[in-house]
Chain A
């Protein structure tokens, strides 16, 4: 049973692309055959995060315009043979693709892959409509900030009007120390406002920035708390029952003690 999942948020900069790259890599690590489709035409980033930008020869617009087959445009990941990228075009804009064409492409990809993950552009205009056109399922990414939560709410409303079944929430870049001091919204607060299921909570982690610069998703790093959380989300998407990590504790006394001993 293959699935087409769109990763969206409304607001920009909350981590859609990072989430797509990490969950895609995570699912591939679980021996699923995965294709990441960058729908952010004109502002592509997923190739950079995956460190594949130099390998792009054909892009999604070429495929849709019939210049090449999708197989020709796919880029195999450097490390994981189960992971493929279908990059966006950089010198075109969102109007180069129609929702119908996107749907057709998703259905074609569905034949070959277990998971088709679509990295949605920010905003609620055409780009968003095109990105969600072929999806069965949606993951809404937000950060625990009022503005991001507001935009996520808008997106959930728009998704409700489409064919996509109940979207799930990823709360990204949470800082438990700040939540404890009541300086940041807690998971429960976000959950209450958005009223959808939470499929993952990703702590704020420097490793994300380092991994983006290296072009290697953090999920490959067994030391990274964000990476581990992304792997959990991947497991849940693949259908496993994975309990939520008590990151609160981990980031507290124990991990500090560990860091002390490791000299980090």
Chain B
């Protein structure tokens, strides 16, 4: 049953019009010759759907060589009255994602949101107060202070544009090449991978500094 449904889906060529132009979703599993035949049929039967507009074509769902693309374009030229200005091929790797996220792709905001989301994951705006914690994969840029009683734990590097007073743990998965940088290191505990150091209570770094592992020890050196 599902097999049958899949076949139908796989052999189907779908035309969609959106604000970018006409999106042609091609089946992935059939040979190019089969594709050409069904494409031919589909285009012929959809002549009225296309009209005579000036438009852009986007091929999706299948990897096309340059020759293949030209052949399909030729068919489009021959059997429709479209004024095609530009064609765009989809990246093959995205094709799977594309079919499921079709709606969002049509919306350019999707890309903007994706970038904002990725940025949000790296950047943290505002200080961490006592009891607050950030734990995540990757690196962190914290714009603010790490106050006493707060914790930062990441698998990558940490950059604090402020003072570190709390606990900061970089490379918690065991990556000893990670580092911690801050405008000021004060009364705090610093951990990199499996190494721990205590910043003495009355010691304060001279300006922006950088903590890293050397000979199994953590060093805090001024950034010059």
Q: Enumerate chain A interface residues (CB-CB to B < 8 A).
A: 42-44, 48, 51, 53-57, 90-91, 215
The chain B residue with its CB closest to the CB of A47 is B149
Bound CA span A42–B149, Å: 9
The chain B residue with its CB closest to the CB of A54 is B198
Tell me if B188 counts as interface (CB < 8 A to partner A): yes
Q: Enumerate chain B interface residues (CB-CB to A < 8 A).
A: 130-133, 148-151, 167, 187-189, 196, 198-201
Using Cβ atoms and an 8 Å threshold, which residues of chain A touch B149? 44, 53, 90
Pairwise interchain contact A90-B130, C-beta atoms closer than 8 A? yes
Instruction: State the main secondary structure of chain A at its contact with B.
Output: loop
Question: 7 tightest CB-CB pairs across the interface, nearest first?
Answer: A54-B198, A91-B133, A90-B149, A54-B189, A90-B131, A91-B151, A91-B131
Using Cβ atoms and an 8 Å threshold, which residues of chain A touch B133? 91
Report which residue of A44, A57, A91 has the largest number of chain B beta carbons within 10 angstroms of its beta carbon: A91
Pairwise interchain contact B131-A56, C-beta atoms closer than 8 A? no
State whether A55 and B198 are in contact (beta carbons under 8 Å apart), knowing that A44-B149, A90-B149, A90-B151 are contacts in the complex: yes
State whether A57 and B148 are in contact (beta carbons under 8 Å apart), knowing that A51-B201, A91-B133, A215-B201 are contacts in the complex: no
Bound CA span A44–B148, Å: 11
The chain A residue with its CB closest to the CB of B199 is A54
Bound CA span A142–B34, Å: 88
Q: How far is the CB of B190 from chain A (nearest CB, A)?
A: 9
Pairwise interchain contact B189-A55, C-beta atoms closer than 8 A? yes
Q: How far is the CB of A51 from chain B (nearest CB, A)?
A: 7
Bound CA span A43–B130, Å: 8
Using Cβ atoms and an 8 Å threshold, which residues of chain B touch A43? 131
Pairwise interchain contact A91-B196, C-beta atoms closer than 8 A? no
Q: How far is the CB of A52 from chain B (nearest CB, A)?
A: 10
State whether A54 and B131 are in contact (beta carbons under 8 Å apart), knowing that A90-B149, A215-B201 are contacts in the complex: no
Q: How far is the CB of B50 from chain A (nearest CB, A)?
A: 60
Bound CA span A48–B148, Å: 10
Bound CA span A67–B130, Å: 22
The chain B residue with its CB closest to the CB of A44 is B149
Using Cβ atoms and an 8 Å threshold, which residues of chain A touch B148? 48, 53
Pairwise interchain contact A42-B187, C-beta atoms closer than 8 A? no
Bound CA span A158–B187, Å: 40
Using Cβ atoms and an 8 Å threshold, which residues of chain A touch B200? 54
